A = this chain, B = another copy of it.
Amino acid sequence: MNFSDLARQLNVSTATVSRALSRPEIVAPATRKRVLEAVQRSGYQMNGIARSLRTQSTRTIGIIVSDIRNPFFSAIVKAVEDVARTNGYSVLICNADEDGRNEEVALHLLIERQVSGVIHCSAGANLDLLRVLQKKSIPLVDLDRQSGLEDVDTVILDNQLGAALATRHLLELGHKRVAMISGPKHLSNARKRLVGFRKTLRSAQIDIPKQYIEFGDFRERSGQIAAERLLSLPAPPSAVFVANNEMMAGALFAIREQGIKVPHELSLIGFDDARWAQYSDPPLTVVSQPTEAMGQKAAELLLGRLRGERLANTVVFEPQLVVRRSTAAPSEEVKNSRRRGCKKASMG
């Protein structure tokens, strides 16, 4: 069943059928009615592939995320899908699993499938394929992580500020031995968080021993390993800033295994909020990002480009410190402040 069949049945041309469906106002009312009825009756559904080939437009946006199970990215996907759907687009999803090569495969696939645009959370892919997108003038939005390509629409968090917020919070509580579990060096957001951490400590004249900075890969397991190493140091930190929520889960696992009490013996602060962080025992102090808003903005930016608009190039969102109960003054301070009365933790 296609336009030819319908056209034959109705004694009209395929052109008329096509027009009746896509620009009803230009066909005679009587004809239009006949066509639409026939379409209804036969349960005909348009072949989108043929249409895409002819119109050179798939109305599909490709999204490459680093790890779909990470609630951060699933919220992103949800937001993007929402915006896409209400604008008549669909979403082709690719999972890079924090691996640049997978990401390249995904880009290749999206190009072949002729997607209208791409939203892209870099896992560190080579820039060549991204350049191919540009050459084909397929709009691209970097989300959460900057690929390093020049002249690209970008939606990010102010990561440096976020890290500064976290670090400052620890300093204000009186911590001096502050460690960080950072993300991989080749990702822009990880680097920025590390910079924010370092700068804040430096400006407070606090020294950071080399061993206090661990590099993970943003995945759970690496957080666990990093935490184990920090905890086995001769002079372990009194507070740890973990650069994303997956690694936080791993770190927490290691910490519980060793029976270390949070926040009494160790303060923990995470990056990016997640449901489990709120429900966790204790509820985690984190730097939160407006995840859905970021996904939505990325999609809107992309759709804007597709409409030919020239919008802002880079949108930077603000992180927010959410104080819960995984951070407290280091234990000596706790003892001293007992006299003054009970310390109150604010609920995030």
Proximity string of chain A (112-129) to chain B, C-beta cutoff 8 Å, 1 when within and 0 when not: 111000000000000000
Proximity string of chain A (40-58) to chain B, C-beta cutoff 8 Å, 1 when within and 0 when not: 0001011111101100001
Contact in complex: A49, B276 (CB < 8 Å): no
Contact in complex: A75, B81 (CB < 8 Å): no
Proximity string of chain A (67-79) to chain B, C-beta cutoff 8 Å, 1 when within and 0 when not: 0110100110110
For A91, give the chain B residue with the smallest CB separation: B93
Chain A residues 90-110 with CB under 8 Å of chain B are 90-95, 105, 108-109
* Contact partners of A325 in chain B: CB under 8 A: 347
This chain's copy number in the assembly: 2
Contact in complex: B95, A93 (CB < 8 Å): no
List 5 A-B residue pairs with CB atoms under 8 Å apart, sorted by A's residue number: A68-B81, A71-B71, A85-B95, A92-B93, A274-B276
* Contact partners of A53 in chain B: CB under 8 A: 49-50, 53
For A278, give the chain B residue with the smallest CB separation: B276
A335 at the binding interface (Cβ < 8 Å): no
Q: A53-B53, A276-B274 are in contact. Are A90 and B68 (CB under 8 A)?
A: no
Min CB distance A340 to B, Å, is 19
Name the contact of A90 in the complex, choosing from B94, B111, B249 (C-beta under 8 A). Answer: B94
Interface residue stretch chosen among A151-159, A279-287, A298-306: A279-287
A275 at the binding interface (Cβ < 8 Å): yes
* Contact partners of A75 in chain B: CB under 8 A: 69
Chain A residues 247-267 with CB under 8 Å of chain B are 249, 252
Q: A77-B68, A82-B95, A90-B109 are in contact. Are A47 and B114 (CB under 8 A)?
A: yes
Contact in complex: B114, A49 (CB < 8 Å): yes
Q: How far is the CA of A74 from the CA of B81 in the complex (A)?
A: 14
Contact in complex: B279, A113 (CB < 8 Å): no
A204 at the binding interface (Cβ < 8 Å): no
Q: How far is the CA of A269 from the CA of B108 in the complex (A)?
A: 45
Name the contact of A78 in the complex, choosing from B71, B90, B95, B113 (C-beta under 8 A). Answer: B95
For A89, give the chain B residue with the smallest CB separation: B109
Min CB distance A9 to B, Å, is 18
A132 at the binding interface (Cβ < 8 Å): yes
Most chain B CB inside 10 Å of its own CB: which residue of A50, A68, A114: A68
Q: How far is the CA of A205 from the CA of B276 in the complex (A)?
A: 37
Q: How far is the CA of A209 from the CA of B195 in the complex (A)?
A: 60
Contact in complex: A113, B90 (CB < 8 Å): yes
Min CB distance A345 to B, Å, is 8
Contact in complex: B58, A69 (CB < 8 Å): no
* Contact partners of A82 in chain B: CB under 8 A: 95
6 closest Cβ pairs, A-B complex: A276-B276, A281-B281, A48-B112, A279-B280, A74-B74, A93-B93
Min CB distance A56 to B, Å, is 9
Min CB distance A111 to B, Å, is 5
* Contact partners of A283 in chain B: CB under 8 A: 281
Q: A49-B53, A49-B114 are in contact. Are A279 and B249 (CB under 8 A)?
A: yes
Q: A68-B78, A94-B81, A111-B45 are in contact. Are A276 and B280 (CB under 8 A)?
A: yes
Proximity string of chain A (267-297) to chain B, C-beta cutoff 8 Å, 1 when within and 0 when not: 0000000111001111100000000000000
* Contact partners of A71 in chain B: CB under 8 A: 69, 71, 74
Name the contact of A108 in the complex, choosing from B45, B94, B280 (C-beta under 8 A). Answer: B45
